Amino acid sequence: MRLGSRSSNDFIQILNEKSESIQKSFLPKIIDVTKMVDVKVMMGDSTITDQKTFDPKKITDYFQKINDSLKEWSVQDVSITNNQDVRRIFTKFEISEGSYLLSGHLSLQFHVLLYYKPIQRVIDCQKELAEIVDLTKNEQEQLSDNSDQLVLNKLKEMGYKDFDHQKLFEVFYENDEFREKVFEEIQKDAGVDFQELSEKKSKLFSELDSLLLETYQTSPVLIDDPRLVSGEEGCLLSLDLEFIKNGNREGVFDPRKMSDSVKENILKRLTELEKVIQS
């Protein structure tokens, strides 16, 4: 049973009010630890600008502090998803009271925006890449425009002088290894090492990737599970109470059958959680 769900039972209504109170305590704490700061970033066009971001480690530390304070609870390690654009920091905890299990889930979901570090090397890499792209494009266009004649000339240089054009192209296209050798010779004559340029281009792209700077954006709102799953920004605090029967969790049960001592202990656990959230 998700606390906050409608119920005509007096005790469940008390739990719902307690759950709402805990959520109201949770949101201001999240707002505080996700305070935005300005950082300098470089755009793809080399423009340097200010971008707002927060520090996800503060969320991790806050969730870990909560886990450390829940002494008698069973807690999961604070985890973070590593999706490229939408990430989530979360933890879960639970405790048994009689035949009932009280569990909680804390989560913050946020977007990751990528920029470049505002340093000269980014501009240098982009310039070198542009030069390589222009050079290879121009040379490849020239080779493409004159490809048939270049192939014929190279084949004749290699000793295939007595073949007619049709026969030469049959020899050329039916032998992959031979065709690659001819192209290598043509590229060598052009004075451009396309393999070397390709390797250099890959290294420059890798270096640019290493110069990326992540910034983080979230929204100061409470969201529910469907909105979390759909990728919305925000924080979630959900609490569930389940009945344990034959080792299985049952979300539907009759709260009238709960003993007074179990009810009292569950309320104490929620009060304990609220104090931890607020601390």
**199 with 261, same domain?**
no
* Distance in Å from the first CA to the final CA of the chain: 27
pLDDT the model gives residue 139: 57
Average the pLDDT over 194-220 and give the result.
Answer: 89
Asked if residue 46 belongs to a domain, the reply is: yes
In a domain, 1, yes or no: no
pLDDT, tens only, 94-146: 999 999 999 999 999 999 999 999 999 999 999 998 888 877 765 555 545 44
pLDDT of residue 180 exceeding 80: no
* Domain end marker among 210, 243, 259: 210
Residue 79 φ/ψ, nearest 5 degrees: -125, 160
pLDDT of amino acid 162: 56
Of 82-96, 151-165, 192-206, 261-275, the one with minimum mean pLDDT is 151-165
Q: Are 123 and 116 in contact (CB under 8 A)?
A: no
Using one digit for the tens of pLDDT, what is the confidence trace for 56-102?
A: 999 999 999 999 999 999 999 999 998 879 999 999 999 999 999 99
Give the residue, 170 or 244, on which the prediction is more confident.
244
Inside any domain, residue 145 = yes
Q: Is the pLDDT of residue 204 over 80?
A: yes
31 and 106 co-located in one domain: yes
Nearby residues of 143 by Cβ (< 8 Å), 6 or more positions away: 150, 186, 187, 190
Q: Are 142 and 159 members of one domain? A: yes
Last residue of a domain, which of 160, 177, 210? Answer: 210
> Within this chain, do residues 75 and 24 fall inside the same structural domain, yes or no?
yes
Report yes or no on 187 lying in a domain: yes
What's the whole-number mean pLDDT along residues 16-37?
96
Are 97 and 221 within one domain?
yes
- How much is the pLDDT for 131? 87
Residues 105 and 239 in one domain: yes
| Shared domain check, 169 and 62 | no
Would the pLDDT of 191 be above 50? yes
Which pLDDT value is given to residue 174? 62
Residues 88, 222 share a domain: yes
The reply to whether 21 and 92 lie within a common domain is yes
Mean pLDDT of 225-243: 95
In a domain, 47, yes or no: yes
Residue 153: the pLDDT is 62
User: Do residues 130 and 203 share a domain?
Assistant: yes
- Which of 29-38, 72-81, 197-206, 259-268 has the least mean pLDDT? 197-206
Tell me which of 226 and 159 has the higher pLDDT.
226
Residue 234 lies in a domain: yes
Q: Tell me the pLDDT of the chain averaged across its residues.
A: 86
* Per-residue model confidence (pLDDT) at position 166: 62
Helices (H), the chain: 10-33, 56-69, 120-145, 147-157, 165-174, 176-190, 194-210, 225-229, 260-278
Tell me which DSSP letter residue 102 carries.
Answer: E
Same-domain status, 75 and 135: no
Report how many domains make up the chain: 2
* Residue 22 CA: distances (Å) to CA of 26, 97, 135, 222: 6, 19, 63, 12
Q: Domain for residue 3, yes or no?
A: no
pLDDT band with cut points at 50, 70 and 90 for residue 198: confident
Q: Are residues 98 and 221 in the same domain?
A: yes
- Position 140 in a domain: yes
pLDDT of residue 41: 96
Residue range(s) defining the domain that contains residue 149: 120-210
Beta bridge partners of 39: 51
Q: Which of 186, 210, 234 is the last residue of a domain?
A: 210
